[in-house]
Structures are given as C-alpha cells and as structure tokens.
Amino acid sequence: MKIYNDYSLLEKNTFGMDVKARCFVEYDSVEELQELIRDGKLQQPLLHIGQGSNLLFTKDFEGMVLHSAIRGVDVVGETAEWTDVKVGAGVVWDDFVAEAVERGWYGAENLSLIPGEVGASAVQNIGAYGVEVKDLIVEVECVDLQSGAVRTFQNADCQYAYRQSVFKHELKGRYAVAYVTYRLLKEAKLHLDYGNIRSVLADKKDYTAKDVRNAIIDIRNQKLPDPKVTGNAGSFFMNPIVSQEKYEALLKEYPTMPHYEAKGGVKIPAGWMIDQCGLKGFQMGRAAVHDKQALVLVNKGGASSEEIVALARKVQEKVKEKFGVDINAEVNFI
Ligand code: EPU
C-alpha cells in the first residue's frame, strides 16, 4: 500500500488540472482496503478515482483520494459459447480489451481505447460505437467503505442505463469496486452498424475482434484528442434524451438531425448540436471546444478549472438558445 500526503494530482487527471490532495492512498488488494477501513484510516471527504479520465478538479482536494491497484484477469467460468473473466478494478480498461481481443474473446472490441480503468467501467457504464459495458457485465464485486464487507452486485442490481448505474446514484460513495466479471463470447457477434465502422474496416469477408478494434482505434484517433498531448476528459456532456414531441418538432427544423432510439425518448447527439451552434474550435481563455468533435472540451495548456467551467456554461447556453434543450455534463466536477 502507498500513502502520500499533500500529493500532486496533476498526473492523476486527464484534464491536466494542477491540484493537490491532502492524502492519496493506493491499495493493492481487498484485504488492504479492509485494513484501512478497520483501522479507521479513511478520511473524509473521500474520493475514489480510476485514471481520472472523467473528472474536473475545480480546487485542491481537502480529503483522501483512493486508488485501486487490484490487478488480475482470470477466467472464472466457461462454456462452448462464452468465457467469464474476472478482472481487477485497477486494470487499465484498454489493456483488458487488448488482451480479450488477443485471446479471441468477442464483445469488448467496440470499447477499444476508452480511457480509464475496469472499476470505473462498471460505475460509469462506459459505451461507444453501439455497445455499452452493461451488455458484458455479469457481476461487480465491491467493498463497503463503511463496514469493509464484500458485496457482489449482479448485473440487474446495478440499475444500468445510458452512462448511469446505482453506484452513481443511491449508492454513490458507499462502495469501492474491487473486481468486475465480464462475459465474452467465443464466436464473433459483431456490432458494425454504428457510424462509419464498416467503411473503415478493410474490405474482407469475416472480421475478427482485432479488425474491429483496429477500426475503432482509427476512428477514435481521428476524432478524439490524446489526453497525453491535450488535456481533456472525453465527452464533456451527455447526449440528451428528449421527448418524442420535442424530437419531432426539432426534426421539422433540422431534417438531417442524427438521432438514436433511447429508453424514454430519443437521444440527440450533443456534439452535433454544439457543432450546429458554430462552436467547433471555439476558444475562451485557455479552454476550447475540440475542433474535430464538439462534445469534447480541451485544455489548450495551463487552463484553470474556471476557464473550463466558463466555456462549458457558454456551450450549454448556446445549445439551449438554439435548440431549447438542456445538456448536462458527463464529467464529474470535484
Ligand atoms: N457530430 C457532429 N459534430 C460533432 C460531433 C458529432 O455533427 O462535432 C455528429 C456526428 O456526425 C454523428 C453524431 O453527431 O452523426 C454522433 O457523433 P459520434 O458518433 O462522434 O458520437 P457522440 O454521440 O458525439 C458518443 C459517446 C462517445 C463515444 C461515441 C461513439 C457520449 C456522451 N459520448 O459520442 O464517448 O465514443 O458516442 O460511440 O455518449 C466519452 O464518453 O468520453 C466518449 C468519447
């Protein structure tokens, strides 16, 4: 276990905010986390992070930041059709996807190159290119941060929806994810109908998970900024789900508007709306709307959180003015 006081979080958040935590603790096992809880060593406020790829620190964190270094990718069950793989929360998500693809397991390839770690995948219900991680999750093993008890949530207990889970709502801050078990398929069941995946795939008959992974990596690299080069936290906003009536009214005005069927209404891409407002590349201070994908806000170098927040507000205002739709941040403000 590693414990540091007055710890710089600069390398722990992809937006590149230069802030500190009063205390930073990295644990390697469930037992180490249980020991911290039992010995009363957890300090409030407490923030559990993964790779810090979905956060905007707005100031120094006057509490304890916890990080899991629990690793391991273990097969825990299989049939002729599928393999259940139990993965440590601290495994880098894309390392797991790469391993799954190498071992010929299907299901995770569309989620290639998403920043973050396995623990966060289950909290955030990460999704891209027609797949959400909830479609793969069997169960999530957690540690109760109050009692130290281990509790396993079956998929149905996690209340998954678009970018939502019970861990972000009723149980926010209560549990730390220790392991996630994913069910991956031994035979291809590919999802190729989102956006331009098919046109990026090389022209051949049967695609492997690796072909799809490579296509997704190409698409993402064309549109999304590399956080190692330009600070960002991926999509800054969630795509709003509007009522059927609102959708029809908007469609009259914007007949080519992209849209997706969603639970409770129709999902309209916020990136498209921001783009329609003419904001692609728009800069305020050292914060900007990414010039290739308007859903992403970027740190042009040394931006303060105030600059990012001011830009986000401006974007929300403009979208509301033009479309009458509220867009909410996907990124967590800390
Ligand atoms: N669009 C524009 N202009 C833009 C951006 C998008 O016109 O600047 C249009 C696109 O042409 C397309 C539609 O909007 O018709 C959707 O765009 P895209 O496929 O790029 O996806 P998105 O809805 O903007 C979501 C996820 C991404 C994920 C992609 C691909 C959310 C909040 N974001 O973005 O996730 O990679 O779909 O599936 O749901 C992330 O969460 O950090 C993330 C990058």
**Ligand 1 geometric centre to CA of 275 (Å):** 11
Helices 209-223 + 93-102 axis angle, to 10: 150
- What's the sign of the alpha-carbon dihedral 124, 133, 220, 269? negative
- The token pair at 164 is 């939502």
- Contact in structure between 274 and 323 (CB atoms under 8 Å): no
Torsion of CA 99, 104, 106, 108, to 10 degrees: 10
Ligand 1 neighbour 84 (Cβ under 6 A): no
Average pLDDT, the chain: 96
Ligand 1: which of 193, 235, 328 to mutate, judged by most atoms within 8 Å of the beta carbon? 235
By three-state DSSP, how is residue 296 classified? strand
Q: Is 313 a catalytic residue?
A: no
CB neighbours (10 Å) of residue 146?
11
Q: Specify the ligand 1 atom closest to the Cα of 128.
A: 38
Average pLDDT score over residue span 257-262: 93
Distance (Å, rounded) from C-alpha 164 to C-alpha 205? 36
Is 235 an annotated catalytic residue?
yes
**According to the model, what pLDDT value does residue 101 have?**
97
pLDDT above 90 as % of the chain: 93
Of the candidates 163, 220, 286, 304, the residue annotated as catalytic is: 163
Given 26, 32, 78, 330, which residue is catalytic? 330
Q: For 12-32, what is the mean pLDDT? A: 97
236 lines ligand 1 (CB under 6 A): no
Q: Is the pLDDT of residue 204 over 80?
A: no
pLDDT class for 24, splitting at 50, 70, 90?
very high
Tell whether the model's pLDDT for residue 202 goes beyond 90: no
Q: How much is the pLDDT for 115?
A: 94
Predicted pLDDT at 8 = 97
CA–centroid distance, residue 26 to ligand 1 (Å): 33
Write out pLDDT tens, residues 243-257. Answer: 999 999 999 999 999
Q: Is 148 in the pocket of ligand 1 (CB under 6 A)?
A: no
> What pLDDT score does 221 carry?
95
At residue 154, does pLDDT exceed 90? yes
285-334 confidence digits (pLDDT tens)? 999 999 999 999 999 999 999 999 999 999 999 999 999 999 999 999 99
Q: What is the pLDDT of residue 196?
A: 86
Q: pLDDT at position 203, please?
A: 75
The rounded distance, in Å, linking the Cα atoms of 264 and 258 is: 17
* Residues contacting 244, CB < 8 A, separation 6+: 265, 266
Task: Identify the residue whose tokens are 């220790």.
Answer: 178
- Residue 66's closest CA among 21, 114, 128, 14? 21
Average pLDDT over residues 58-83: 97
pLDDT value of residue 199: 86
Coil, strand or helix at 310: helix
Atom of ligand 1 nearest to the CA of 290: 8
CB atoms within 10 A of CB 288: 23
Q: How much of the chain is helix, strand and coil, in % rounded to 5?
A: 30, 30, 40
Q: pLDDT-derived band of residue 206, with 50, 70 and 90 as boundaries?
A: confident
